[in-house]
Structure 1
Amino acid sequence: MFSFRTQGYNGYNLKYSPFHDSRLAVASSANFGLVGNGRLFILGLTANGIVAEKTFDTQDGLFDLAWSERHENQLAVASGDGSIKLFDVALNDFPIQSWQEHKREVFSVHWNLVDKATFASSSWDGTVKIWSPEHGSSLTTLATNSCTYSTAFSPHSPTLLSAVSSDSHLRVFDTRLPPPHLIHQIPVHGAGQPAEVLTHDWSKYRPGVIATAGVDKLIRTFDLRSPQTPLSVLAGHNYAVRRVSYSPHLPGTLLSASYDMTCRVWNDGTTEPTAAAEGQAMMGQCLGAMDRHSEFVVGIDWCMFGAEGWAGSVGWDEMLWVWDVRGVMGR
């Protein structure tokens, strides 16, 4: 394992560069994001370990980040003051673009992986917005009417994006349709006790399959072709699940990060056709856990390059770990 300390700043998420196998970035906040500044770390993986290549300081905490899919040096960050800023790693000090439309904290940003020209943000103000780096204002606003923790474009379509919120719903939008663009509004917990949904991710291999997780500690997957009940349920975390991320290499494999201070790797159970045919949710299998963090783990990402299975995680312990997921399988 490799490590780096974001000293004085608590990590909220990290992302590997889609262009460079040795570069990653961390969005972080002072004082656990409650009050104070933020810092964006640009890090390099070297033969001597992980080194800070550059940092950008912001006036409010940073909660998420997304590398541009078009420009290797640019990335967007989500801020607690409701702003979104676009930085260029090749330039110093100041963001090259800043947007201030959200009324509350921006908790998520996600770049469109298909058309590569736009990115989305979600906020506690109950909206999802779509942006272009070339425009000074948002292109589209989508209403969720609830504190929205996570938004993501489908990796299979340039016009589909999703969001999960504090009202226990997963929503899917299609921007080709007229407003409000909504095509699915799925109650994640069904008739059970509603709980805030904090995170979700699209399967990279099965179009229409989405994993969700949150306060009730369970990870659920849904198939948009039949979203009435979960496709699978993954139980094992002891506290809320803060982040999930599907593998870009291994179908049906995903990572999770939790307030129980662990990252876990799962087989999501969606490769079992019998359960789906019977209308019963499969119980996914936990394949292993990484427990090097000493505080809440709130960010994870897979590396796209090199040997499959490398990932990074950040937490409120000011630590970044880069580790081989295969090394924890079977523990």
Structure 2
Amino acid sequence: MASAMLEFRTPGYNPYAVKYSPYYDSRIAVSAAANYGIVGNGRLFILGLGPAGIQLEKGYDTNDALYDLAWSEINENQLVVASGDGSVKLYDLVTSGDFPVMNFVEHKREAFSWSPSRPTSIKTFPVGTCTYSACFSPHNPNLISCVSSDSNIRIYDLRSPVSAKYHLTTVIPAHAPPVTPVGVLAALANGQTYAGAVPSEILTHDWNKYRDTVVAAAGVDRLVRTFDIRNPTGGPLSILMGHEYAVRRLAWSPHASDVLASASYDMTVRVWSDGSAAMPPAPSQPPVIQLGQQLGLMNRHAEFVTGVDWCLFGSGGWLASAGWDQRVLVFDAHTLLPPVL
């Protein structure tokens, strides 16, 4: 596995997020912060993968920590970063200079999505609690989701009427017990039937790239859960167990409907199957919580792993990870899988 590992160091900066370009399999962006993001400035790294390994293509320094980033899906040279001062900064890689081409300031603290075509936010959704992750559905531009410290997954539908709920259409209590316990898998760590969990902060979530109603979420309680937004109170579809500390980032594979990767404070990246491919749901049967299978583990980081992302191209196995050990690693997930006997 060591021979498949590429590495880039970010001296003086602790990465918080890593994202492959949706246009090039050889370009990666990393947002990072000095002093673990507690105090100090930030830096955006644009990295290129080539015969010589991972090389720095461009770097941008900021006055505050950078906690997240996203590539544009309409311009191959643009990306946005979320800053600790509440701003969202838009960078263009082909422009001269070291400064963002636009700077949006509306949030009071760390921030998420924007449109570069206007100077103010398109919509504002009051959540009422600390929000750690927000994203659009890859299947429907009208659906926006977020997860937060109150243990809920929220779905906003822009097609719904503006009301007191600000387009909020679905709330999934991630740690609630399933409504129908019949057939629930009874093989969690202590062998007891799953009956929910103590509500805790959800730090990350992601939409399945193939199943348009399936969302995965994870956080402080170390478990990864998948849900069907059509049944918000029915409990999880599957539970993925194995991480020893909080899960900081999730990413569904763009190559397989049942595979996802997770990054954790236990210093590992894990690749999972949620069990859906092996056991498709039967409409006439009561819902069953599947126990997902860990397919592989990468433990080459020496600090919290805060970012993980899949490459959209190639054979379907390349992953990039970033952690507080000031390292970005690129590896083939196939090398994590156990040998076929």
Name the counterpart of 1:303. Answer: 311
| Partner residue, 1:166 | 149
Verify the 8 A CA contact 1:275 1:282 in the aligned structure 2: no
Structure 2 distance, partners of 1:274, 1:177, is 29
Larger C-alpha radius of gyration, 1 or 2?
A: 2
1:224 aligned to 2:229? yes
Does 2:334 correspond to 1:326?
A: yes
Preserved contact between residue 16 and residue 323 of structure 2 (Cα < 8 Å): yes
SS at match of 1:278: coil
Cα distance change on mapping 1:330 and 1:78 into 2, 3 Å: same
Deviation of residue 227 (structure 1)?
2.4
Structure 1: gaps (5+ residues):
110-119, 121-130
Give the Cα–Cα distance (whole angstroms) in 2 for the partners of residues 291 and 68 of structure 1.
31
- Could you tell me how far 1:307 is from its partner in structure 2? 1.9
Quote how far apart the aligned CAs of 1:275 are: 7.8
Give the strand-richer structure, 1 or 2: 1
Distance in 2 (CA, whole Å) between partners of 1:270 and 1:27 is: 33
Which stretch of structure 1 is more off in the superposition, 193-202 or 219-228? 219-228
Higher mean C-alpha deviation, range 51-60 or range 174-183: 174-183
Residue 198 of structure 2: which of 178, 193, 201 is its match?
Answer: 193
Contact 1:275–1:281 (Cα < 8 Å) also in 2: no
- 2:124 match: secondary structure: strand
Partner of 1:113: none
Report the Cα distance in structure 2 between the residues aligned to 1:208 and 1:217, rounded to whole angstroms: 23
Please say if residues 314 and 321 of structure 1, whose CA atoms lie closer than 8 Å, have aligned partners that are also in contact: yes
8 A Cα contact 2:273 2:295, kept in partner: yes
- C-alpha displacement at 1:104, in angstroms? 1.3
Matched residue type, 2:110: E
What are the within-5 Å matches in structure 2 for residues 137-176 of structure 1?
Answer: 137-176=120-159
1:99-248 equivalences in 2 (<5 Å): 99-106=104-111, 109=112, 120=113, 131-179=114-162, 180-190=166-176, 192-228=197-233, 229-248=235-254
CA distance in 2, matches of 1:82, 1:275: 46
Percent sequence identity is 56
Q: Aligned pair 1:19/2:26, yes or no? A: no
Q: Which has the higher contact order (CA 8 A, sep 6+)?
A: 2
TM-score (normalised: structure 1): 0.91
Deviations 1:236-269 (A, max 9, x none): 0000000010000011100000000000000012
Of 32, 54, 58, which residue of structure 1 is paired with 2:36?
32
CA–CA distance in structure 1, aligned partners of residues 305 and 217 of structure 2: 17
Q: CA RMSD in A?
A: 1.2
Equivalent pairs, count: 309
Cα distance in 2 for partners of 1:97, 1:178 equals: 31
Give the TM-score normalised by structure 2. Answer: 0.88
5+ residue gaps, structure 2:
178-196
Match of 1:63 in 2: 67
Kept in 1: contact 2:171–2:232 (CA 8 A):
no
CA displacement at 1:273 relative to structure 2 = 2.9
1:77 Cα deviation after fit: 0.1
Q: Deviations over 1:142-199 (max 9, x none)?
A: 1111100000111110100100000000000011112310111111001531100000
Taking the aligned partners of 2:26 and 2:52, their CA distance within structure 1 comes to 12
